[in-house]
Chains A and B, each alone.
Chain A
Amino acid sequence: MSTTRHAEPAVGTPPAPGRKESDGRTTRRPLALRLLARPEVGVFLGAVAVYVFFLVSAPPVREGSAMANILYQSSTIGIMALPVALLMIGGEFDLSAGVAVIASALTASMLSYQLTMNVWVGVVVALLVSLGIGFFNGWMVVRTGLPSFLITLGTFLILQGVNLAVTKLVTDNVATDDISDMDGFGQAKKVFASSFDVGGVQVKITIVYWLVFAALATWVLLRTRYGNWVFAVGGSKESARAVGVPVTFTKISLFMLVGFGAWFVGMHQLFTFNTVQSGEGVGQELIYISAAVIGGCLLTGGAGSAIGPVFGAFMFGMVQQGIVYAGWNPDWFKAFLGVMLLGAVLINLWVSRTATRR
């Protein structure tokens, strides 16, 4: 030991506190560039562009009632796009979100009708079923560690089959019976599917729910511990777990939140149309996911917002109704969606690259 010059243990003085105010290596980029780097701003500009496009090419869009209609269409997509976006920020997918809406509506409708009970019983049971589906998805994903894509693809197929088969078994039909004359229907319709008058224009209540949920989601995401956890489990599950974030709870609750959204939209559809078509909902999950992605949520998790998907859903609603108002063949809708999705993603990529460079 004496033969070597081994290092003395480092002296125990704490490192000197920083004297300078900044390390001088980062320069602040101009405000405009910093704003453009935010995906929400990109999708907002996209939404404005689509809006202006249809204002010009479809004159009926300029009327108030048309706007109410477009917002209504957006809200039915938007209410589901919110929990789907939160789940995506949390690093997971839910492909069963579309058919889960119908599963929830079918449960409420058939349960109330077949047992001749107050519709509220069906509504509450449907909520439990929806939360249960969400819990199952989340629990399976957390327990097995398999990609949520696979797990929820399974639930998607299961629900799709069960929806059709059970409905046929119970009603001998592909649709449920009309429940509009049952106890509590009027009440439930008021809650889930009423509309109110704003300056002579009928505005659907779902628009209000949509915006309230969006504000709530934004607050939770940015201002609460839970929101912090959502970003953390999506950004790096292992790191989050290592610093004590309850990863299992966060993931499962996010899936259950999608279940809640599915229940809410399902109830809206049930009390709007009085009956439910058991084969519907297929493909809707991709619309929700697209709205979230267009809204700037990172497909791999860890980044995104709640306000972005609001604009994403608005773009979809705008196109869906705008095509009708413009008098075009509505078959073009899906093609339009695809172009918009690709366009939005490319523009987001380009904008964030240009704005974050330098």
Chain B
Amino acid sequence: MSKKRKISLSEDELVLALRNHEKVAIEALYDMYSSSLYGVISRVITDTATAEDVLQETFVKIWHSFSSYSTEKGRLFTWMVNIARNLAIDKLRSKDFKNQNKNQELENNVAFIDEQRNTTYKPELLGIKELVETLKPEQKSILELVYFKGYTHVEAADELGIPLGTIKTRLRMAIQQLRKYFN
């Protein structure tokens, strides 16, 4: 990874360059954010090839619809990660993807099921485990559902069988916990 010189710009420079559709902007954008976005995508979609497709679609969409982003509405990453998560969740719920999973060859099933149940060893997932350990179990589950599984807070309330207000509070507490952790 570090063989290539990575391009890095300040967020303001990057936004300006993206607005002008400069070639360097998309390269910088990829170098700066692809791993963060791929981290989110690959937790929503465990299938590597599909996750890679979604990452590509994410960058194409960012590039294409950049005019709809405004700095006043928030940070660039927030806008991008929501695009990535929505594409990933759409893909996860799409008919094609479901059918694809149903049509898995028999010999691949062991690995597939292992992957689905997260029993395979994924070193890149170590980080989140460590971090999420600092969260209380109920905070962790709500964050998992909403952030990585694409549940809405309403769906999460159903899933966990707790009131909507509680969901919101727990989510807030989880993020508060993260804020403490990062500070």
Same complex for A and B? Answer no
